[in-house]
Structure 1
Amino acid sequence: MRLSFVAAAILAAAPLAAQELRGPEAFEGMADGAERSAAIFTEMGKVLTHPRCLNCHPVEGGPTQGDRMQAHNPPVVRGPADFGAVGMNCTTCHGRENVAFTGSPGSIPGHQPWSLAPISMGWVGLGLGDICRQLKDPARNGGKTLEQLHEHNASDGLVGWGWEPGEGREPAPGSQEIFGELTRAWIDSGAACPS
């Protein structure tokens, strides 16, 4: 598995908990609209390239797990409709909510539904510009408009799980509220992609 340059830099630069997410107000002083929009998306990239997102957005194969994105244990495959193999789909182990281990630290993540992102939304190894273009493309993003993408980022429960990942996992930077505000500001400033 190959991490994008941005994801590798984020993982190497500081402990995951130390990553901060600036809100849209941090970019208000930028006069050039396209430059501001791309800068906002780059800030959103702190979430998009975080292990909480990348673990379930593989380009090929199955999910990874943990803060260091190791191979999923037990080994699993994508299977039909991105819910795992027949007889061992995602919900075999992943329930409606996180479940703490009883004999050791850690937890099994959970949310209803629990699944991989479609292959067309795989991000591992991609740069932010590629992820941005992918997100804007209804042919690859599940037919979403930019408004629907904002709704997804701002209020979808599975996206929100990234900030409440259960014991043993660092949450994504910031909060879903800030991520939603950044998405709104990115769209309103022209939805430009970083190069």
Structure 2
Amino acid sequence: MNPGLWALGASLIALPLAITASAQQAPGLKAVSSFDGIADKGARSVALFEEMGKVIQHPRCVNCHPRTDRPNQGDASTPHNTPVTRGPDGHGAPGLECATCHGPANVAFSNGKGSIPGHPDWHLAPKSMAWEGASLGAICEQIKDPKRNGGKTLAQIAEHHAHDGLVGWGWNPGPGRAPVPGTQAEFGALTRAWIANGAKCPKV
């Protein structure tokens, strides 16, 4: 990593963050067992997905599932600064790839008031998985559709939710960003239960 580019990226990203949120403890997710009282299996599946929606529709997730080719950032989901673009494979345009500024791990600012997010494979979700502004029901149908979810089966979706490292970043977003609710293990368990109960979706 070129130190000059890293420093430039840090200064450019720091300016628009206007960080007001602290990395406080996020609210939890309901346990799978808390849905056992819903007798109808389909209704239980919908309720489980609605609980999953607390993660799916959180800024940590939506910011990397934008409806345009430009990611969003921060808890307010403002357009990314600098004005980067998706590029041919979601890793940024040639010469200004995501990895220019986003390294393999979060980097806290020296003033303690924020951080540059990082992950070894930092990138945008595929355009087919853009769900910024979509209803939870529409996102659910999108997640289930192999033509729009990268060819994944439901079992692979559950594995992705439970163990994917970039998904897991949402629970460890670095100083200045609110983490998604609960834990990745809880999110994975909710996903498996949603599938086991029929993978039903809320109304679009």
**What TM-score, normalized to structure 2?**
0.85
Confirm or deny that 1:58 pairs with 2:45: no
**Structure 2 Cα separation of the partners of residues 107 and 183 of structure 1:** 30
Confirm or deny that 1:41 pairs with 2:49: yes
Q: Which residue identity is paired with 1:185?
A: A
Distance apart, 1:61 and its partner CA: 2.7
Indicate if the aligned counterparts of 2:105 and 2:117 stay in contact, CA closer than 8 A: yes
Structure 1 window deviating more from structure 2 (159-168 vs 59-68): it is 59-68
Structure 1 window deviating more from structure 2 (35-44 vs 18-27): it is 18-27
Gap regions ≥5 residues in structure 1? 1-15
Gap regions ≥5 residues in structure 2? 1-23
**Structure 1 Cα separation of the partners of residues 99 and 151 of structure 2:** 25
Match of 1:124 in 2: 132
Q: Which residue identity is paired with 2:77?
A: M
**Structure 2 Cα separation of the partners of residues 17 and 75 of structure 1:** 31
Q: 2:30 aligns with which of 22, 37, 45?
A: 22
Question: Structure 1, residues 152-190: CA drift from partner, whole Å, max 9, x if none?
Answer: 000000000000000110100111010000001001000
Confirm or deny that 1:146 pairs with 2:134: no
Distance apart, 1:70 and its partner CA: 1.1
Confirm or deny that 1:99 pairs with 2:94: no
SS at match of 2:152: coil
Distance apart, 1:104 and its partner CA: 4.6
Distance apart, 1:26 and its partner CA: 1.3
Equivalenced residue count is 180
Indicate if the aligned counterparts of 2:26 and 2:182 stay in contact, CA closer than 8 A: no
Q: Which residue identity is paired with 2:117?
A: P
Indicate if the aligned counterparts of 2:26 and 2:178 stay in contact, CA closer than 8 A: no
Match of 1:178 in 2: 186
Identity %: 59
Distance apart, 1:68 and its partner CA: 0.7
Q: Which residue identity is paired with 1:144?
A: K
The RMSD of aligned alpha carbons is 1.2
Distance apart, 1:17 and its partner CA: 5.3
**Structure 2 Cα separation of the partners of residues 150 and 124 of structure 1:** 21
Confirm or deny that 1:89 pairs with 2:97: yes
SS at match of 2:49: helix
Match of 2:145 in 1: 137
SS at match of 1:129: helix
